[in-house]
Amino acid sequence: MSLLAGKMGIVFGVANKRSIAWAIAQAWHSAGAKLAFTYQGQRLKENVEELAGAFGPDTLILPCDVTKDDEIAAVFKTVGDKFGKLNLLLHAVAFAPKDALEGEFVNTSREAFRIAHDVSAYSLVALARAAAPLMLDGGSIVAMSYYGAEKVVPHYNVMGVAKASLEASTRYLAYDLGPKKIRVNCISAGPVNTLAARGIGGFNEMLKHYEAHAPLKRNVLPEELGATGLFLVSDGAAAITGQVLYVDCGYQIMGM
Ligand code: NAP
Q: 43 or 151, which is more confident?
A: 151
| Percent of the chain at pLDDT exceeding 70 | 100
Task: Specify the pLDDT at position 179.
Answer: 98
Domain ranges in the chain are: 8-245
Comparing 10-19, 32-41, 192-201, the range with the smallest average pLDDT is 192-201
Active-site position among 39, 147, 156, 210: 156
What is the torsional sign of CA 61, 33, 27, 253? Answer: positive
Q: How confident is the model at residue 199 (pLDDT cuts 50, 70, 90)?
A: confident
Pocket test for ligand 1, best of 51, 69, 72, 144 (most atoms within 8 A of CB): 144
Active site residue 146: yes
Assign domain 8-245 to its CATH superfamily: NAD(P)-binding Rossmann-like Domain (3.40.50.720)
pLDDT at 45 over 80: yes
Residue minimizing CA distance to atom 46 of ligand 1 = 15
Ligand 1 pocket, 26 CB below 6 A? no
Task: Specify the pLDDT at position 42.
Answer: 85
Q: Which tens digit of pLDDT belongs to each residue from 83-138?
A: 999 999 999 999 999 999 988 999 999 999 999 999 999 999 999 999 999 999 99
Q: How far apart are CA 143 and CA 178, in angstroms?
A: 16
Ligand 1 pocket, 15 CB below 6 A? yes
**SS3 per-residue string spanning 180-230:** HCEEEEEEEECCCCCCCHHHCCCHHHHHHHHHHHCCCCCCCCHHHHHHHHH
The predicted model gives 30-45 an average pLDDT of: 93
Q: Mean pLDDT across the chain, nearest whole number? A: 96
Alpha helices in the chain (DSSP H): 20-30, 41-52, 69-83, 110-117, 123-131, 157-177, 203-213, 222-233
Task: Specify the pLDDT at position 114.
Answer: 98
Task: Specify the pLDDT at position 1.
Answer: 57
